[in-house]
């Protein structure tokens, strides 16, 4: 029988409750209040950034674009190395007609993850909005050559719209063609997370799997699905989902840690250690990675001593 892995409580649960109630500004202030003291661990920084990303999603889905951008601005302070946060913020800054800041955010996302499809698209659309139609078309044609386009007909329509300088329509078409759309019910991840907090893991898995069509390019959705599958003890499914999250964003440390835990649960401790080592290469102070490394190293020493005691003379 497989052993379920518990889902930990978050110190930012109150933040998420405020966001669900539409109190987005208060939610952002609550994160800032809880993190006002210095010396935050990497784990708390990641948790704060994740909470703020959910606040941003809630705010954006309710039309509060300014507070959504503010939530991501604060999130980026905690985790400037998360390309998805930089990309989402760049998209909102473009919508708020703040092109210089949008370009900075998108270029930061691409410096972290040069093949990040969503960031490449947003950067091209920003070029188009500023009148650099030729540069935008060239960048998008290169993107189409290097990326799997799910709906090439829609992509071609997007290019035609861009040639007419209708970059807003083009953006919609490109998002659909590349399977990057975030539909109106963009809080699906938050709903699934709430189910996990309540202990309804089976329903969370169901919600996330139902949400996959049309959202295959969301690394955070695959990450949360993998966590939920791991919590159910479905190790192979968890490995597949978390592996997909890492394909979409190789620098997604939280997904790599969960991938390592799934490997451990499946009995592949050596491979799990390799995944933790990859995180520590990029972030030597990552608290959860250090804790796992120390725990697994200690386990290996104990097992070595047991083998030595029982070894035949």
Q: What is the pTM of this model?
A: 0.62
Task: Return the SS3 of 283.
Answer: coil
* Torsion-angle region of 90 (φ positive above 0: left; ψ -120 to 50: alpha; else: beta): alpha
Domain segments of the chain as ranges: 1-79, 102-181, 188-304
pLDDT confidence of residue 83? 87
Q: What is the pLDDT of residues 93-145, one digit of tens each?
A: 998 999 999 999 999 999 988 888 889 999 999 999 898 999 999 999 999 99
Residue 2: phi, psi to the nearest 5? -75, 150
Which stretches of the chain score pLDDT less than 70? 1-10, 38-39, 43, 181-187, 190, 214, 300-313
pLDDT confidence of residue 26? 93
Measured CA to CA, the distance from residue 118 to residue 180 in angstroms comes to 7
pLDDT confidence of residue 117? 87
Show contacts of 23-28: CB within 8 Å, 24+ apart: 24/55, 24/58, 24/59, 24/62, 24/64, 24/67, 24/68, 24/71, 25/67, 25/70, 27/55, 27/58, 27/71, 28/52, 28/55, 28/67, 28/70, 28/71, 28/74
Fold type of domain 1-79: 1.25.40
Task: Give residues with Cβ within 8 angstroms of 130, minimum separation 6.
Answer: 99
Measured CA to CA, the distance from residue 143 to residue 175 in angstroms comes to 13
Domains 102-181 and 188-304 share a fold: yes
Fold type of domain 102-181: 1.25.40
H/E element, 260: helix 253-265
What is the dotted CATH code of the domain comprising 188-304?
1.25.40.10
pLDDT confidence of residue 187? 59
């Amino acid at each position: 029988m497989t052993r379920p892995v518990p889902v930990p409580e978050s110190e930012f649960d109150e933040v998420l409750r405020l966001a669900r109630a539409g109190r987005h500004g208060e939610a952002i202030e609550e994160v800032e209040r809880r993190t006002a003291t210095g010396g935050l661990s990497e784990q708390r920084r990641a948790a704060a950034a994740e909470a703020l990303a959910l606040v941003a999603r809630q705010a954006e889905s309710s039309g509060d674009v300014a507070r959504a951008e503010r939530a991501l601005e604060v999130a980026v302070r905690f985790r400037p190395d998360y390309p998805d946060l930089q990309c989402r913020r760049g998209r909102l800054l473009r919508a708020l007609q703040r092109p210089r800041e949008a370009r900075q955010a998108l270029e930061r996302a691409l410096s972290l993850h040069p093949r990040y499809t969503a960031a490449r698209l947003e950067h091209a659309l920003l070029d188009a909005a500023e009148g650099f139609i030729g540069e935008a078309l060239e960048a998008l044609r290169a993107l189409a050559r290097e990326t799997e386009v799910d709906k090439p007909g829609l992509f071609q329509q997007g290019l035609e719209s861009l040639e007419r300088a209708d970059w807003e329509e083009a953006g919609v078409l490109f998002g659909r063609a590349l399977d990057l759309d975030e539909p109106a019910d963009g809080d699906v991840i938050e709903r699934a997370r709430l189910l996990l907090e309540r202990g309804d893991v089976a329903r969370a898995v169901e919600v996330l799997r139902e949400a996959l069509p049309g959202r295959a390019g969301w690394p955070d959705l695959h990450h949360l699905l993998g966590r939920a599958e791991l919590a159910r003890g479905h190790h192979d499914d968890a490995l597949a989902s978390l592996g997909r999250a890492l394909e979409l964003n190789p620098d997604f440390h939280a997904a790599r840690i969960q991938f390592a835990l799934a490997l451990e649960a499946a009995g592949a401790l050596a491979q799990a250690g390799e995944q933790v080592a990859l995180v520590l290469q990029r972030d030597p102070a990552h608290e959860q990675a250090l804790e796992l490394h120390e725990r697994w190293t200690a386990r290996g020493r104990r097992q070595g001593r047991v083998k030595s005691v029982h070894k035949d003379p």
